[in-house]
Chain A
Amino acid sequence: MRSILAALLIAGPVSADEIWVTNEKDDTISVIDIETLEVTRTIDTGERPRGITFSQDHSVVYICASDSDAVQVMDPETGEILHDLPSGEDPEQFVLHPDDRRLYIANEDDAITTVVDTETRRVIAQIDVGIEPEGMAVSPDGAIAITTSETTNMAHWIDTETEELFANTLVDTRPRHAEFTKEGRELWVSSEIGGTITVFDVATQAETAKISFEVQGIHPDRVQPVGFEFTQEEDIAFVALGPSNHIAVVNAETYEVEDYILVGRRVWHMAFNEDKSLLFTTNGVSGDVTVINVPNREAIKSIKVGRFPWGAAFRPTD
Chain B
Amino acid sequence: MPAGGQRGQAGGCRGAKGDTQAHAAAMIASLLAIIAREALRFIHQRERFLAALVRPLVWLLVFAAGFRAALGLSIIPPYQTYITYETYIVPGLCGMILLFNGMQSSLSLVYDREMGSMRLLLTSPQPRWWLLFSKLIGSTTISILQVYAFLAIAALFGIDMPAWGYVTVLPALLVAGLMLGALGLLLSSFIKQLENFAGVMNFVIFPMFFLSSALYPLWKMAESSELLHDICAANPFTHAVELIRFALYTELNLPALGWTLLATAIFTAAALWGYDPARGAMRRKT
Contact = CB atoms under 8 A, between A and B. Distances in A.
A301 to B, nearest CB: 4
Interface in B58-87: 65, 68-69, 73, 75, 80-84
A82 interface: no
Interface stretch (A63-71, A135-143, A257-265): A257-265
B69 A286 contact: no
B82 A217 contact: no
Nearest to B75: A302
A50 to B, nearest CB: 24
Given A245-B73, A286-B73, A302 B81 contact: yes
Interface string A294-313: 00000111100000000000
Interface residues of B, number: 10
Contacts of B80: 300-302
A113 to B, nearest CB: 36
A290 interface: yes
A317 B68 CA distance: 41
Interface in A243-262: 245, 262
A263 B83 CA distance: 8
A8 interface: no
Interface residues of A, number: 15
Q: Is the interface of B mostly helix, strand, loop or mixed?
A: loop
Output the residue of A217, A245, A291 with the most chain B CB within 10 A. A217
B128 to A, nearest CB: 51
A259 to B, nearest CB: 10
A290 B82 CA distance: 8
A196 B80 CA distance: 30
Given A265-B73, A286-B73, A302-B75, A217 B81 contact: no
B83 A262 contact: yes
Nearest to A298: B81
A27 to B, nearest CB: 25
Contacts of A218: 69
Nearest to A302: B81
A264 B65 contact: no
A196 B82 CA distance: 25
Interface string B80-110: 1111100000000000000000000000000
19 contacts: A216-B68, A217-B68, A217-B69, A245-B73, A245-B82, A262-B81, A262-B82, A264-B73, A265-B73, A286-B73, A290-B82, A291-B81, A299-B82, A300-B81, A301-B80, A301-B81, A302-B75, A302-B81, A302-B82
Interface of A: 216-218, 245, 262-265, 286, 290-291, 299-302
8 closest A-B pairs by beta carbon, nearest first, are: A302-B81, A301-B80, A299-B81, A217-B68, A262-B82, A301-B81, A217-B69, A302-B75
